[in-house]
Structure 1
Amino acid sequence: MYAHILVPVSFDEERDAKGAMRVAEVLAEHSAKITLFHVIEQIPSYAAAYLPDGYLKERKTALQGKLESAVEGMENAAAVVVDGHAGRSIVEYASTHRVDCIVVAGHRPGMQDLLLGSTAHYVVRHAACAVHVLR
């Protein structure tokens, strides 16, 4: 079905990353690449100034380790952690890495999503490939 599937992973309790990974494996054609992808949102400089030296680098390394543990045992899988805006980073990565399907775990929208927009909503509206949203 799909040759390269991107699975954005949020470490929020309400997101079903394992379910998204299972769906990606079902949708993947033989020898397809599956990429688990996490975006570290930018911290405003006024707030980052209060963080201990090296904290952000350590956090990124820890998150990379979590994703790499999640892809252990999966054939042709990769783990990628980037800094940026979640929705834009997912769409940009998909367009520059020949992703043909994004499987994203959603959540029940609340009032904040109606006013600000959610990551899944952004990805659905802007991705140039197929997008599967899990609830």
Structure 2
Amino acid sequence: MFSRVLLAIDLNETEGARRAAKAALSLIAQSGGELHVVNVIPDSGMAIVGASIGQSLEDRILTEAKAALLDFANDQLPDLPAERMHVVQGTIYDRIIRTADEIEADTIVVGAHRPEFKDYLVGPNAARVVRHANQSVLVIR
């Protein structure tokens, strides 16, 4: 059932990412499936903001995000091949769903932060992934 699992992590929320990684590894151990991990760098929003940031800063942010994902994977996801680590940029929930579709994942594991009253139960990105994904979604608190 869990032949290809996409673990979506937020490297700014280290403890939640660790819990989600542990759950994803457990699913893979049970099924013998393949694990992929994605970290989404939010886009800069309005074009004027992106233009003021500049391409060199965007490139540096992407390079640093890839290095941070590699460090996380080396620590939490031993033996994960580099081609299964994905750093993408855009709207968080949309890029998680698109990455899952691109790699033909059958399951998405996503962490959820402690909700504020306005996003009761799960965070807004996790909730959107649950509502719109074509795959089964496991939300880890």
TM-score, length basis structure 2 = 0.76
Work out whether residues 11 and 68 of structure 2, in 8 Å CA contact, stay in contact via their aligned partners in 1: no
User: For the aligned residues, what is the CA RMSD?
Assistant: 2.9
Superposed displacement of residue 16, structure 1:
1.3
Please give the residue correspondences for 1:86-125 in structure 2 after superposition, counting only pairs within 5 Å: 86-111=92-117, 113=119, 118-125=124-131
Q: For the residues of structure 2 that align with 1:82 and 1:20, how far apart are their CA atoms?
A: 19
Q: For the residues of structure 2 that align with 1:56 and 1:76, how far apart are their CA atoms?
A: 18
TM-score, length basis structure 1 = 0.79
- Aligned counterpart, 1:126: 132
Superposed displacement of residue 46, structure 1:
4.6
Work out whether residues 11 and 69 of structure 2, in 8 Å CA contact, stay in contact via their aligned partners in 1: no
Structure with greater proportional strand content? 1
Number of equivalent positions: 132
3-state SS, counterpart of residue 33 of structure 2: strand
What is the letter of the counterpart of residue 124 of structure 1?
V
Superposed CA deviations along residues 63-95 of structure 1, whole A, max 9, x for unmatched, are 343344243335898211111111000001111
For structure 1, which runs of at least 5 residues remain unmatched after alignment?
Answer: none
- Aligned counterpart, 2:61: 56
Identity percentage of aligned residues: 25
- Aligned counterpart, 2:8: 8
For structure 2, which runs of at least 5 residues remain unmatched after alignment?
Answer: none
3-state SS, counterpart of residue 6 of structure 1: strand
Q: For the residues of structure 2 that align with 1:57 and 1:74, how far apart are their CA atoms?
A: 20
Please give the residue correspondences for 1:22-41 in structure 2 after superposition, counting only pairs within 5 Å: 22-28=22-28, 29-41=30-42
